[in-house]
Structure 1
């Protein structure tokens, strides 16, 4: 018969984490309080907004009665505008949960319309 070894070890460890403090410090901010990420976001917003509106007008002029793809592209550009508007709302000091949900909705709508465009092709 084989020998059975029973190992009785005690794991009686007590860890006290009550004195641990976590702090977050943003090192990307300049002395006047404007962070580099915010500047990049505003530059993207200022470039993306006019180009999206021009692209919407250009695609709108291509819409014909029997084509569905330009309509999907226009809807994709509208979802990009929803994302852009919610990003502008999130960049302000008053961050609201509605702007976060609008950002998520715009993202999901964008992915959905990309799927519609790929299925149409």
Structure 2
């Protein structure tokens, strides 16, 4: 098995783990921000040294640097989609709780159903 296959499978495993587990704990937020910084630094280096990307691609078993970049972007975009889906689900849960609390509060203020 080539290095790129192992790296892509590990990336997909990370996406899968994030899909089934995840958290808004502060340590996860720090890890997410660290990942973002890493992606930005790697992206900047790829722009500055495009031949280095091809060299790395050849070492891990990919023909071209553009293909390696595409593979990385696919895994990264899947990870972002999973994280955003989880955040959206959490926000929907919070809004439901707020709507219930507001309804109960209004019902207590106007017990006869008067508005």
Greater C-alpha radius of gyration? 1
Q: Give the shorter-chain TM-score range.
A: 0.3 to 0.5
TM-score by length of structure 1 reads: 0.34
Report which structure shows greater RCO (CA 8 Å, sep ≥6): 2
TM-score by length of structure 2 reads: 0.36
